[in-house]
Structure 1
C-alpha cells in the first residue's frame, strides 16, 4: 500500500462560521483572519494505492460551478486535483474508487463534471465506483433547509444515474473495522448525518482522515465547533470520545481543511486534549 496527499485547491471561509461560539480574539491566534474575516482553508484529499485499486478519498469543490459561486469562497493558490494526481504519476481515469466522507459540495463537487458539450453532467472519474452510505444519501438528497445550499443536485444525481454509485455496508455500531475498501470507518452525526471518517493502517501507524469532525488543528479544544454543524452538542460528545481514543491509540490525524498543517498528533494536558506535534506527510512517511 502507498498513500499520497492530493491537494484539490485552497479557499477561504468566514472565521466566525468556522468556530461557532468561540470569540475571534481566541481563534484568530491559530487561524488568523484577513481583512474580510476570512481564514485560509484547503481541500486536501487522500489517494490510496492498494494492489489493483486506486482509492480517492473526497474530491474537493470541482470546477463546474459558476464564477459567482466560486466568488463566495475566495479561491487562492495554484493547487488542483489533476495537477496533484499528475505529480504522483496518476490520471483521474486511473481511479477505481471514490470514497466521499460526506456529500457537502466542498467534499464531493469534484466527483462530477460537465459533459463534453456542456449540456449536462457526468462522473468526473469514468472508471470509478462512488462510495457513500445509504443513510447519508437519503439525508443529502432530501436536504433540510439548513444544509440545502451544501447538497447540490448536480453533485449527486449524476453519480446515481451513471450506475456507478454504491453504498458502504454499515453495522449496528458506529465503527466498521474493515469496510469494502479494506479500511476502518467511524460514523459521526454531529456535522451532518452519517459522515464517514476512514481509519487507515499504514507503515505501522493509524492515519485517520478526520474530515469535518476536526477541520483544522485550531479546532482541537472541545468547544471549538463549527457553526455549520447541524447538531453541535452531538459533535461535542463525538469529538470528546474521538480525541480520547486518538490519544490512547496514538492516531495520526490527516486534516482535510487545514491549509497549513497536513497531519497532527494529540496529547492529554491539564487543559484537556491538545495538539502534540504537527507533521508533514513526506516527513512522516518514507
Structure 2
C-alpha cells in the first residue's frame, strides 16, 4: 500500500462559524483570522494505492461553480486535484474508487464536472465507483434547512445518474471492519448524519482521515465544535471518545482542513487530549 496527499485547493471560512460558541479571543490563538474574520483552510484529500485499486478519499470543491460562489470562500494557492494527481504520476481516469466521507460541497464537489460543451454534468472519474452510504445519501438528497446550502444537487444527483454509485454497508455498531475498500470505517453523526471516517492500517501505523470530525488542530479542545454541526452535543461526545482512543493507541490523524498541519498525533495533558507531534505527509508516507 502507498499513500499520497492530494491537495485540491485552499479556501477560507468565517472563524466564528468554524468554532461555534467559542470566543474569538480563544480560537484565534491557533487559527488566526484575517481582517474579514476568515481563517485558512485546506481541502487535503488522500489517495490510496493498493494493488490495482486507486482509492481517492474526498474530492474537494471542484471548479464548476460560479465566480460568485467561489468568491464567498476566498480561494488561495495554486493547488488543484489534477496537479496533485499528476505529481504522483496519476490522472482522474486512473482512479478506481472515490470514497466520499460525506456529501457537503467541499468534500464531494470535485466528483462531478461540466461536460465538454458545458450543457450538463458528468462524472469527473469515469472509471471509478463512488462510495457513500444509504442513510447519508437519503439525508443529503432530501436535506434539512440547516444543511441545504451545503448539499448541492449538481454535486450529488449526477453521481446517481452516472450509474457509478455504490453504498457502504452500515454496521450495527460505530465501526465497519474490513470494508470492501480495504480500510475500516468509523461512522459519526454529530456533524452530519452518517459521516464516514476511514481508518487505514498502513505499515506499523493507524492513519485516520479526520474529515469534519476534527477539522483542524485548533478543534482539539472538546467544546471547540463547528457551528455547522447539526448535533453539536453528539459531536462533543464522539470527539471525546475518539480522541481518547487516538491518544491510547497513538493514531496518526490526517487533517483534511488544516492548512498548516497535515498529520498529527495527540496525547493526554492536564487540559485533556492535546497535540503531541505534527508531521508532514512526506515524513509519514515515505
TM-score with structure 2 length normalisation? Answer: 0.99
**Distance in 2, Cα, partners of 1:134 & 1:248:** 32
Determine helix, strand or coil for the equivalent of 2:196: strand
Measured in 2, the distance between the counterparts of 1:105 and 1:193 equals 15
Unaligned runs of 5+ in 1: none
Distance 2:170 2:18 in 1: 30
Q: Which residue of 2 aligns with 1:210?
A: 210
State the match for 1:236 in structure 2: 236
Q: How many Å apart are 1:277 and its aligned residue?
A: 0.6
Q: Secondary structure of the equivalent of 2:55?
A: strand
Map Cα deviations across residues 191-228 of structure 1 (whole Å, 9 max, x no partner). 00000000001121000001001000110010000000
Residue 177 of structure 1 and its aligned partner are, at CA, apart by: 1.5
Partner in structure 2 of residue 23 of structure 1? 23
Q: 1:284 deviation in Å? A: 2.1
Equivalent residue runs for 1:1-286 within 5 Å: 1-286=1-286
Partner secondary structure for residue 278 of structure 1: strand
- Measured in 2, the distance between the counterparts of 1:272 and 1:231 equals 22
Note the C-alpha offset of 1:285.
Answer: 2.7
CA RMSD of aligned residues (A): 0.5
Aligned residue pairs: how many? Answer: 286
Q: 1: CA distance between counterparts of 2:200 and 2:284? A: 15
Aligned partners of 2:2 and 2:285 also within 8 Å: no
The question of whether the paired residues in 2 share the 8 Å contact of 1:203 and 1:285 is answered with no
> Whole-Å Cα distance in 2 between the matches of residues 31 and 39 of structure 1?
6
Q: Secondary structure at the match of 1:160?
A: helix
